[in-house]
Chains A and B, each alone.
Chain A
């Protein structure tokens, strides 16, 4: 049978496509999962429909108050510490009122508010633009409201960083491991080329613990004999702490006009007239 070059190339091409394409089909047809095994959620896990956080800024007075909370998060999550601000990675950090609520500032606010650093973190928005733009669903919204990161899937396109109106996301521009002071062996690090941010301590929630920052701030408050400055709970549970606080104190959120519906609420002033 004589065959010319063109026919040969056509046959070779189609065979290659069938061969390469056939492999995943066969894989898919193979039953790789064991029949009797299955996956459950831990009984101890905290469950909720809409996790939220309330930060009462009047309870944060000294630098130490902030440092403890930030340190609690960054240490257990192996967040690296870069000298160069360009590469910086932060899950929770402090900044001024003017920077936290740009557009809200005016010349006449109380000095103590103007100079007080505010705690910032991912707002775990109800309507998150970062989730909308992610091309691989590496960042996605869980049923309990947490905007989650799957660092296995992230391709490092940084579209989510462009989309986030709150600057809550960081990118691993370098290998983070040399810059981690002390590794927490029970939690992974990240690797170069992926985006990371606060995840509302999803791994602690699955063990029945509240986020580390909230726990630390409540511990500090107890030690100092003060009222706690951070609350965490389920907004859909009318008896939760967060609902009680939000129902009695006036709260604001960052950039509400954008419609992202943040789940982190701030109580600015202290005292009865806040």
Chain B
């Protein structure tokens, strides 16, 4: 069976495969490091009980939804007090509550976000704590 326009087709296929495989070629050799978010900030060290607003497992999976709900409660409903599953109350504020303990955005928030290639734009507005350039 004759492949009409064979030259163009083969060339096109090679270019296409090259483009699709480019991300893999580009990252060969770069170690695929597991994200290691650090929770050794001064604020966390001072805490008696090393607990976040909710459990680690919950936060890992659901902090995005939690923050969305917080946003709607604080801005749209005017309610700024969050009572967690254990009955402890927290002020709803990304800047003043979350980032107060997790003041190391680069070594905490960005670790997983960069690994997952997500780019939340929260910090376009919410001021991230200033970090020492290490």
Contacts and interface: CB of A to CB of B under 8 A. Distances in A.
- The judgment on whether A and B are partners is yes
Interface of A: 32-42, 45, 78, 140, 142-144, 148, 150-152, 183, 185-191, 202, 206
Contacts of A183: 127
Given A33-B69, A188-B127, A148 B75 contact: yes
Given A39-B92, A186-B95, A190-B125, A144 B71 contact: no
Contact of A185 (B58, B71, B77, B127): B127
B127 A189 contact: yes
B84 interface: yes
Contacts, number: 73
B54 A34 contact: yes
* Interface bin, chain B: 20 to 34
Interface of B: 54, 58, 62, 65, 69, 71, 73, 75-87, 89, 91-92, 95-96, 121, 124-127, 129
A73 B72 CA distance: 24
B125 A191 contact: yes
Nearest to B58: A34
A39 B71 contact: no
A144 to B, nearest CB: 7
Contact of A189 (B87, B125, B129): B125
Contacts of B125: 151, 188-191
A191 B83 contact: no
